[in-house]
Amino acid sequence: MRLGGRVYTGGMNRVRKKIVLEEMYGRMMERFGPQEWWPGETAFEVMVGAVLTQNTAWVNVEKAIGRLKAEGVLEAGKLHGLGAKGIAPLIRPAGYFNLKAQRLWNLLDWFVGKYGASFERLEGVATAALREELLGVTGVGPETADAILLYALGRDVFVVDAYTRRIFSRHGLAKDDATYEELKALAEEHIERDRQMYNEYHALLVMVGKHYCKPVPRCAECPLRVMLPKGSPLLKAREDAGRMTNDAMTNDAMTNDQ
Ligand code: SF4
């Protein structure tokens, strides 16, 4: 069985997608509660974290940000002044530190050079134009750009990540080879355009992805298990998991009886 395989039915209409996405949100919120992302004390810290978190666990980002704070350089002007070579050893815990130092410096060069490191000046720029500018910075891809827009700048853009892709695909909302922009459009066209909603939705998808929707999914325990589409191979896996649980319970009972 190809557990991670394509389950997209292609038959879900716009109204149905909206209903499914709303129900997903409700079920995730019920299980996990508000996540209140992004972990960061200031907009600038969130911006730095969005670059450092590429391909690494958040715990490593926290260590790197902790070092920047301890060195007193978690400010745009100071970090920019260090250059990529000066930043690299400080962010070592985040992994790929030379590459990330260069990417972070590129972002800082744009922020300091064009906007004088002023978030107030960014406020005057339309979201679409700002997104284009961010995407023009070498090393800032769509996920990083959207994370900065949503979590640092409070714009109502939906952030897509690998978990989003996997969950949407397994639930028949999108093809598993859908592009980033297609997945973003799917979410933004069917989920109420509200930055707080987008903030929580992305964070909740990360919770589902981290705990349940792994390469080999743990559907039996997942809050979205009842929403698996008809015909999904994962339904069979769910039944098997249920049987295994029941068998285990029966075996436990027999053991206790002996
Ligand atoms: S039920 Fe949960 S683990 Fe299973 S495919 Fe859906 S989101 Fe992933």
Instruction: Kindly give the distance from the C-alpha atom of residue 220 to the centroid of ligand 1, in angstroms, as a whole number.
Output: 8
Counting residues of the chain whose pLDDT is more than 70, the rounded percentage is 87
* Pairwise CA distance, residues 4 & 224, whole Å: 16
Instruction: Kindly give the distance from the C-alpha atom of residue 58 to the centroid of ligand 1, in angstroms, as a whole number.
Output: 22
**Over residues 154-170, mean pLDDT:** 97
Instruction: Kindly give the distance from the C-alpha atom of residue 213 to the centroid of ligand 1, in angstroms, as a whole number.
Output: 5
Nearest C-alpha to atom 5 of ligand 1 is from which residue?
170
Nearest atom, ligand 1, residue 217 CA? 3
Nearest atom, ligand 1, residue 223 CA? 2
**Over residues 121-139, mean pLDDT:** 97
* Pairwise CA distance, residues 97 & 104, whole Å: 10
Query: In this predicted structure, what is the pLDDT of residue 10?
Result: 52
Instruction: Kindly give the distance from the C-alpha atom of residue 226 to the centroid of ligand 1, in angstroms, as a whole number.
Output: 9
Q: Is the pLDDT of residue 120 over 60?
A: yes
Q: Identify which has the larger pLDDT, 138 or 7.
A: 138
pLDDT category, 192, cuts 50, 70, 90?
very high
> What confidence tens digit (pLDDT) does each residue in 22-57 have?
999 999 999 999 998 988 889 999 999 999 999 999
**Over residues 208-236, mean pLDDT:** 92
> What confidence tens digit (pLDDT) does each residue in 51-101 have?
999 999 999 999 999 999 999 999 999 999 999 999 999 999 999 999 999
Instruction: Kindly give the distance from the C-alpha atom of residue 251 to the centroid of ligand 1, in angstroms, as a whole number.
Output: 27
The answer to whether 220 and 235 are in contact (CB under 8 A) is no
Query: In this predicted structure, what is the pLDDT of residue 39?
Result: 85
pTM for this structure?
0.87
**Token output for 160:** 């897509």
The answer to whether 205 and 173 are in contact (CB under 8 A) is no
Non-local (6+) Cβ contacts of 82 within 8 A are: 73, 90
Nearest C-alpha to atom 8 of ligand 1 is from which residue?
213
The rounded Cα 121 to chain-centroid distance in angstroms is 27
Q: Which residues have any ligand 1 atom within 6 Å of their CB?
A: 167, 170-171, 208, 212-213, 217-219, 222, 224-225, 228, 234
**Over residues 1-26, mean pLDDT:** 73
**Over residues 197-221, mean pLDDT:** 96
pLDDT category, 230, cuts 50, 70, 90?
confident
Q: What is the 3-state secondary structure (H, E, C) of 14-82?
A: HHHHHHHHHHHHHHHHHHHCCCCCCCCCCHHHHHHHHHHCCCCCHHHHHHHHHHHHHCCCCCHHHHHHH
Query: In this predicted structure, what is the pLDDT of residue 232?
Result: 84
Mean pLDDT computed over every residue of the chain: 88
**Token output for 161:** 């990540």
H or E element, residue 174: none
